A and B are shown apart, each in its own frame.
Chain A
Amino acid sequence: MIFVIDLLAATLRNATPLVYGTVGETYAERSGVLNLGIEGTMYAGAFAGFATAWATGSLLLGLLAAIVVGLAAGAVMALMTVTFGANQHVSGIGLTIGLIGLSEFANRLIFAGGELQRIEPMPILNPFGGLGEISAVFDQYALTWIAFLLIVPAAWWLLQRSSFGLEIRAVGENPEAADAAGVNVARTRYLALMIGGALMAIGGAFFTLALLGSFTLDIIAGRGWVCVALVIFGRWRIGRGVIGALLFSLVFSLQFRLRILPGFGELPFELLLALPYLVVIGALALSGRNVAYPGAYLKPYRRT
């Protein structure tokens, strides 16, 4: 029982950055832009959040710094792909390389390779404290509560029910028609990419401000790429993407716990860790030709 409760708590915790990243990437892709800058944006969010919180002693300022960095990263991606109409894959990879480089450059300058600096990470909250043993599942960081109770429903409502969300989906599906209907395609894509970038950066900052309380190299370790996969796994739907993030996190948390049990020590856990990636590729293969990519996916828009 303890094992299950612990596993569920870890699943929610480890899913948190993936939820931010997946929702952020969903916004970018629904507007018609594949943002492969996500890995670098999460990395830069993790670093900027940590460095600011370390320098000011305020977690809130750290979070704000991460958001500002995320907005800026989204704006650069929009400048490249919307204003210049440059290739989306290459722009995203360039953004990721540049942001990881910039974060490590600043890390080296500020912390000079000395001993690992730490901050006091955000406390764990439990609004369901009185439920006995099971309430341990709800021992979670504020950023986890915000992700599941605020960001996910709000992001869903904004995308599916608001007129702004309709504009995002319209410019991602058929920018010519949206333009003819009076939607400012460039402005909508800029906003979608910047909102998405801010969410990705918060996802990265979750590692430094909540989970670890410190910044280490390779801290994102490919989780941005996982989010890109989860968006497709969820067929560009926020709800399904979140379910994908929870499933990925469940497998991740499970292998981590099995590893320390007697008798499991010799199993090749790297293979289990690879499973979620392979599941996404397998799911893509099974859905085959039915994968309904956004209509304007990967296409720059120019008035003719």
Chain B
Amino acid sequence: MRVSPWSTPLLIVYAILITFAITAGPILIAGANPIEAYGAFVVVPLTSQFTLLEILVSATPIMLTGAAVAVAFRAGYWNIGAEGQLLLGAIAAAGIGTLVGGLHPVIALPIMIVGGALGGAAWALAPALLRIRFGIDEVVTTLLLNPVALLLVNGLLHGPWRDPVTGFPESPRIAASAEFPTLIDRSRLHLGILLALIVVTVAWYVLARTAAGLRLRAAGLSPHGARFAGINVSRTLLGAALVSGAIAGIAGVSEVAGIQNRLTAGLSPGYGYTGIVVATLGTLTMPGVAIAAIFLGDLTVGASSAARSLGIPSQLGAVVQGVLLLTTVALLALRRNRARRPADGSAGSVTGDVAAEGTAG
């Protein structure tokens, strides 16, 4: 069978190649050879055990935020607030983590994970209610709560949670029983990656194989059609928004319990926004999210090693992410235009663009 040149995996490969062609410009300006640079970005991190594990460490938070964004986007709910929801999960984890010292990790860790998920979901609640009750565009409300969450973190770190000994804006270290165990000796790889893979697997199952998942996808593809079919679209959106917030909250727990062991102001260098890149690159499917997160993790590790070996500023990683996001949505839109479908509710949405090929996973 001939593979369509517009099939989703090929489209993503094109997006990556076009991105590399565009970002060759900045690399040349930095005085490096683009081919050599992409080798350092993509291939070099795959060549040692240490960097392979670091790829998974980098992939952990963005696999979770990517899954969070994908769940919401699939429902047609534009949650741009994964960053803030992640921070609320981190606040909850840092708070609970200091209180569970007397408990066995088997009890302490689930309490902390559930607490972080609830924190993220709570932060996602108000925009979701405004959307379903008053029809207020959730893009702006979820987005605006990101700086508010960051202010909340800073308020805690400069106020009640300031380290009493050093005076640094860092919360007290969480109890040993609340720290995620490392999976492999002498590495930073921690329980968070397993958590992320479990979340992605469960989300895949729910989306692809359950009635709730079908309702969610239907609401995303055509709210009017879904309503006509008897689906309670408001309740479906609310559910998607809260699950999305909860997953982003777990990303915050994972960073606190697995990496920082406390709340810090620099906890997230924009993992919530990177989640949008991961979700889009993964075309809003869960296997896609997992692969995209690992690919971006690879690029992140590669960018920092290329900074050392080739003198290319590691900020190129962010440039690649931004361009990759633009080329991916552009190609998805071009495929939709090519199909010449009449304009409908899904036009211009990633959901519609993915569905244009008929992928249901």
Contacts and interface: CB of A to CB of B under 8 A. Distances in A.
B155 A271 contact: yes
B84 to A, nearest CB: 10
A239 B320 CA distance: 38
Interface of A: 34, 36, 40, 76, 80, 84-91, 93-102, 104-105, 107-109, 221-222, 225, 228-229, 232, 268-271, 273-274, 277-278, 280-281, 284-285, 288-289, 291, 293, 298-300, 302, 304
20 contacts: A84-B337, A91-B329, A94-B322, A95-B322, A96-B273, A97-B270, A100-B322, A101-B322, A102-B26, A105-B313, A105-B316, A108-B315, A225-B143, A232-B137, A270-B155, A274-B151, A284-B134, A284-B136, A288-B136, A293-B137
A281 B138 CA distance: 10
A86 B330 contact: yes
Contacts of B30: 105, 109
A187 to B, nearest CB: 19
B330 A80 contact: yes
A86 B348 contact: yes
A299 B352 CA distance: 13
A199 to B, nearest CB: 19
The winner among B140, B152, B277, B324 for most chain A CB atoms within 10 A is B140
B321 A85 contact: no
Given A98-B319, A101-B316, A93 B333 contact: no
Contacts of B324: 94
Contacts of A289: 134-135
B329 A270 contact: no
Given A85-B336, A281-B144, A284-B130, A98 B139 contact: no
B250 interface: no
Given A101-B317, A104-B315, A302 B343 contact: yes
B11 interface: no
Given A87-B348, A87-B350, A270-B152, A93 B336 contact: no
Given A94-B277, A97-B277, A108-B313, A89 B80 contact: yes
B146 A225 contact: yes
Contacts of B336: 85
Interface in B113-148: 126-127, 130, 134-137, 139-141, 143-148
Contacts of B326: 76, 80, 86, 91, 94-95, 98
Nearest to A101: B318
Main secondary structure of the interface of B (DSSP, over half): helix
A293 B171 CA distance: 42
Contacts of A88: 348
B170 interface: no
B323 interface: yes
B78 interface: yes
A89 B274 CA distance: 14
Contacts of B135: 289, 291
B103 interface: no
Contact of A284 (B140, B147, B321, B333): B140
A281 B126 contact: yes
The winner among B273, B315, B336 for most chain A CB atoms within 10 A is B315
Given A90-B350, A102-B26, A274-B148, A34 B139 contact: yes
The winner among A84, A288, A291, A299 for most chain B CB atoms within 10 A is A84
Contact of A299 (B139, B150, B348): B348
Nearest to B347: A300
A281 B141 contact: yes
For chain B, which range describes its interface: under 10, 10 to 19, 20 to 34, or 35 or more residues?
35 or more
A84 B331 CA distance: 8
Contact of B145 (A93, A268, A277, A298): A277
Interface in B250-280: 270, 273-274, 276-277, 280
A84 B155 CA distance: 43
A92 to B, nearest CB: 9
A101 B324 CA distance: 12
B80 A87 contact: no
Contact of B29 (A109, A278, A304): A109
A277 B317 contact: no
A278 B147 CA distance: 10
A284 B318 CA distance: 33
A273 B29 contact: no
A232 B151 contact: no
Contact of A229 (B80, B144, B270): B144
B353 interface: yes
Contacts of A278: 148
B342 interface: yes
A44 to B, nearest CB: 11
Given A281-B130, A281-B144, 9 more contacts: A76-B326, A84-B330, A87-B350, A98-B325, A101-B319, A101-B322, A105-B315, A274-B147, A285-B134
Nearest to A270: B155
A290 to B, nearest CB: 9
B188 interface: no
B26 to A, nearest CB: 6
A300 B348 contact: yes
Contact of A87 (B150, B322, B333, B343): B333
Contacts of B159: 268, 270
Given A87-B348, A271-B151, A93 B134 contact: no
A97 B330 CA distance: 16
Contacts of A273: 151
Contacts of A298: 348
Given A96-B322, A105-B26, A271-B155, A80 B329 contact: yes
